[in-house]
Structure 1
Amino acid sequence: MTPEEYTFNQAVALLQQGKVSQGIELLKPLTHNNEFAEKVLQIFFKVAMQQQDTETAIAYCQQLVSIAPTKLDYVLTLVQLSLSCGEFKIAKSALLPLYEANPKQADICFQLGKVERKLYNADAATRYLKQAMQLSEQFKVPALIEIAFMHNEQLHQPDEAVHYLEQAIIHDKNNLQAHFALANIYEQLGHKDKAKQGFQRVLAIDALNAMAQARLADIETFSERDAIDYEQACLTILKRESDDIASADLYYALGKVFNDCKNYQKAWHYYVKANQYNKKYLPKYVRQSVEEITDFTLARNITLQEANSSITPIIICGMFRSGSTLIEQIISSNERIAAGGEIAYLHSSLFNLIGDVKALVKKAKLPEFVNGYIEQLTLRSEGAQYVTDKRPENYLYLDIIKQLYPKAKIIWTERDIKDNSLSAFFQHLGPSLNYAVSLSDTLHHYEQQQRIKSHWQSRFGNNDIFTVNYDQLVCSPEQVLVPLFSFLGLEYNNEARSFHNKSGAVSTASVWQVRKPLYKSSSGRFANYLEYIQSDEESYLDAKKLLNS
């Protein structure tokens, strides 16, 4: 036995005994040994995965791919890990050599198509996905679904997406993903009956599908009798459901249906359970980290050149659930304004650089970055002069936006913070909105936003930032909208009376609310739940500061 073999066997024995750090230290020198490097890296990869250290696992997988670039298992593992972390360029770099060596292998073409879609390279994605379809019948339906996602989410062509999903269903009539995606698009387009039928079709194929059952709750307004029937259907699924995310979906849905029929005690019970499940898998809201982001933003003082663009963004920011979608629908009823929705580009490009002002400035000056945002605006403009961007986190980048687009206007939506906190608590939100599972954390996030808002107001003034109060808007729309349109340099033409009939997709939690005329029932909503918050010790302690605000 060679010394290297002895060391390897000794390290493996230590790992089997649970002495991970000792085993790893013994193995490290063998990563430079051609005979043992691959085996050692396999072990390192498995250990990193067991420790849920995805970033390190990706690094080890990259090394394995560099040693054996044609091993499909290594490449596909790297691709899946990279996709799960949003590292799409790593996935593409791993796949391209494999594709060049095997251009007629359908699964490689399919994976490349998925990656190119994630990178917003529509032409390349379509080419690879269609190639996968031609090479293998196995990939026909998955490729059609991927192409549909691209048309809906990136090219903003929902009708094309519907076409591809219908083709997928022709080839596989019981494909759950295709039926669910089709129902989702119909919901975004405001086609209530088609959306309802689509989710019911999913349940006809899979009676215990929690997501489809939950989505039905948003489509209808429930009576007490309907709510009880719906409750029984959800509880049947919950008895067998082991997934925390799916369980949270159903509890949020149950809260919504009992809120509809004004059974606020039962609604609160289910909303609390929903947030308990949501907390299990969301990252913890760390107040210190949020305060540091605020401090970094307030301290920034940078200079950028104006972008060369014929389109001007209208930035709508503020707290989630404060009326931003409603305002977007109203102002984009004007033919000179196109609804851009929540454009992820700025936040996804800049957020990780907030703590490093030099890196942030370097990124913001790159022509690729500037042109990338212009492309996103152009894609949504439909020939309009202005495009809204209502990504909530854009309040962090107003200095960058105003330097790139000096004529940009900022609309800041606000709402009674008690109602706002409650509305966020009632929604199943993702990791970036993890404050929503706690009423006091939502108040803390609001307070940090207000610090930043005051800073921008002192810097840009009232000619560039207009505050829209949701409660004032629904009570006296013209008192808000006439000066708002004047602020935008446009004339108000009674858009408040017609916005709910506006066609086009809406892809936020307010999808059905903004299809209705203005209503006041959400103002003062906190009062409906005050008794139940106060009678629940944990909820009361969480909401104590909010109650006094």
Structure 2
Amino acid sequence: ANAISPKHTPFMHNLANCLVHHGETDKAESLYRDIIEIWPDSSQAHWALATSKKSKDTSHIEEMGKYIAKNDNNPLAKSFYYYAMGKEHEDQQNWSEAFEAFQNGAKAKRSIEPFDEQLEIATFDYLAENFTESWLNDGAIGCRNDAPIFVLGQPRTGTTLIERIITSHSDVHSAGELQQFRLAIRRLGNTKSSKRFSPEMFDSAKMLDPEILGKMYMQTTGKMSGDSPRFVDKLPQNYLMLPLILKALPKAKVVHLVRDPMDACFASYKQLFADAYPHSYDQQEMARHHVRYLKLMQVWRDRFPGRFFDISYEETVRDVEPHARALIDYLGLPWQDDCLNFHQQNSAVSTASAVQVRQPAHTKSIGRWLKYEQQLQPMLETLQQHDIYQ
């Protein structure tokens, strides 16, 4: 499409995004700059340019600053500009300027991305009350296919890193962040609610035949799961559906990422998402969500011992090999040294970590929130109030 219409900016942007996903960031950067030359006030191109490379000076920040006032009535454009400016300030270790930009970006995004916290509370409560050990072990038999590997948890906690380690193995294909399990629940349960997750959805899911659910998931992932014996579904939010996954696909493996709560919360807060994670645009809402998530995962851990594998982001990046070996062993795969060279993979990465995972593991993100400790007091205090952070 871009070859046919070489100056059509939507096609150019799609091509540039594909280049980033495949690790060709230099070519992508050139295309983003071409888009900006054609359309100087392309907020999304400016944001994509900022996230595809490391900033070395303030020239692009100053350029973007000129367009903020022009987009006063366009909060989406403002959010793109502010998050881009925050990222480039952070590249240059201008911590206070970076935080101000992230905060402004979050405020702009929140104005058009509401968060129904009461619905989330009701959904988490329903899950904890209804998906019990006796429900899981009621005698119903799910789909016995052992191909799926679920990597789940919170976004920006190392899920892509762990997926890359796993999919560096010759027997495993990266299927990406798949919506198919949730969509199978909605379809089979005839869910009417327009909300992504709700008590209504899980109430109907509780009564589904697990074998039919598992088979529908396998059928609908067929085109994405590749030709390898195993595949990874890396949708972080699958943790909400963990009991259903265990029942529908009892031979599937589940890997759960664990990361420092403040680093995890701040990593989401400073990330501009498309249409997911609406809780991430307010410090206290982000922290309260994280509390609910941690408590729910502990419920699953207590009820379903040994059914999923916790892996620490911090411990893994500090010493990759022993944790990679333990991970591969849990998955029942023979060890391959390629699993240590995950950053050399040439397969596509379509998440916010597309640039980072092309690099070897590093510890630079551990404790990053401390650079903003003063500004992040509302987040920290909320976690402390729930005995999550001391």
**Matching of residue 511 in structure 1 with residue 341 in structure 2:** no
**Matching of residue 544 in structure 1 with residue 387 in structure 2:** no
- The Cα offsets for residues 61-93 of structure 1, whole Å up to 9 and x where unpaired, read as xxxxxxxxxxxxxxxxxxxxxxxxxxxxxxxxx
Task: Measure how far apart 1:264 and its partner are.
Answer: 0.6
Question: What code does the residue aligned with 2:100 have?
Answer: H
Task: Measure how far apart 1:501 and its partner are.
Answer: 1.0
Question: What code does the residue aligned with 2:173 have?
Answer: A
User: What is residue 21 of structure 1 aligned with on the other side?
Assistant: none
User: What is residue 191 of structure 2 aligned with on the other side?
Assistant: none
RMSD: 2.2
**1:433 pairs with 260, 273, 277, which one?**
277
User: What is residue 335 of structure 1 aligned with on the other side?
Assistant: 170
**Matching of residue 489 in structure 1 with residue 319 in structure 2:** no
**1:417 pairs with 236, 257, 261, which one?**
261
The whole-number CA distance in structure 1 between the counterparts of 2:206 and 2:378 is 42
User: What is residue 269 of structure 1 aligned with on the other side?
Assistant: 100
- The Cα offsets for residues 108-133 of structure 1, whole Å up to 9 and x where unpaired, read as xxxxxxxxxxxxxxxxxxxxxxxxxx
* Aligned 8 A contact 1:341 1:390 in 2: yes
Structure 2 unaligned runs (5+)? 186-195
The whole-number CA distance in structure 2 between the counterparts of 1:525 and 1:438 is 18
Question: What code does the residue aligned with 1:429 have?
Answer: F
Task: Measure how far apart 1:366 and its partner are.
Answer: 8.4
Task: Measure how far apart 1:184 and its partner are.
Answer: 1.0
Matched ranges for 1:349-360 at <5 A? 349-350=184-185, 352=197, 354-355=199-200, 359-360=204-205
Question: What code does the residue aligned with 2:70 have?
Answer: R
Matched ranges for 1:438-453 at <5 A? 438-453=282-297
* Aligned 8 A contact 1:184 1:195 in 2: yes
Question: What code does the residue aligned with 2:280 have?
Answer: A
Q: Secondary structure at the match of 1:410?
A: strand
User: What is residue 228 of structure 2 aligned with on the other side?
Assistant: 384
Question: What code does the residue aligned with 1:375 have?
Answer: Q
Q: Secondary structure at the match of 2:151?
A: strand
Task: Measure how far apart 1:181 and its partner are.
Answer: 0.9
- The Cα offsets for residues 37-71 of structure 1, whole Å up to 9 and x where unpaired, read as xxxxxxxxxxxxxxxxxxxxxxxxxxxxxxxxxxx
The whole-number CA distance in structure 2 between the counterparts of 1:248 and 1:357 is 33
User: What is residue 478 of structure 1 aligned with on the other side?
Assistant: 321
Q: Return closer, same or farther for 1:356/1:415 CA change in 2, 3 Å cut-off.
A: closer
User: What is residue 192 of structure 2 aligned with on the other side?
Assistant: none
Question: What code does the residue aligned with 2:111 have?
Answer: K
* Aligned 8 A contact 1:353 1:360 in 2: no
**Matching of residue 253 in structure 1 with residue 84 in structure 2:** yes
Q: Return closer, same or farther for 1:349/1:372 CA change in 2, 3 Å cut-off.
A: closer
The whole-number CA distance in structure 2 between the counterparts of 1:259 and 1:380 is 36
**Matching of residue 326 in structure 1 with residue 161 in structure 2:** yes
User: What is residue 154 of structure 1 aligned with on the other side?
Assistant: none
* Aligned 8 A contact 2:159 2:257 in 1: yes
- The Cα offsets for residues 400-449 of structure 1, whole Å up to 9 and x where unpaired, read as 21222211111110111111111111101244301111233222222222
Larger radius of gyration: 1
The whole-number CA distance in structure 2 between the counterparts of 1:357 and 1:435 is 20
**1:529 pairs with 348, 356, 372, which one?**
372
Structure 1 unaligned runs (5+)? 1-164, 534-538
Question: What code does the residue aligned with 1:307 have?
Answer: C
TM-score by length of 2: 0.88
Number of residues of Structure 1 aligned to a counterpart in Structure 2 = 369
The whole-number CA distance in structure 1 between the counterparts of 2:86 and 2:154 is 22
The whole-number CA distance in structure 1 between the counterparts of 2:107 and 2:203 is 40
TM-score by length of 1: 0.63
Would you tell me which structure has more helix in proportion to its own residues?
A: 1
User: What is residue 186 of structure 1 aligned with on the other side?
Assistant: 19
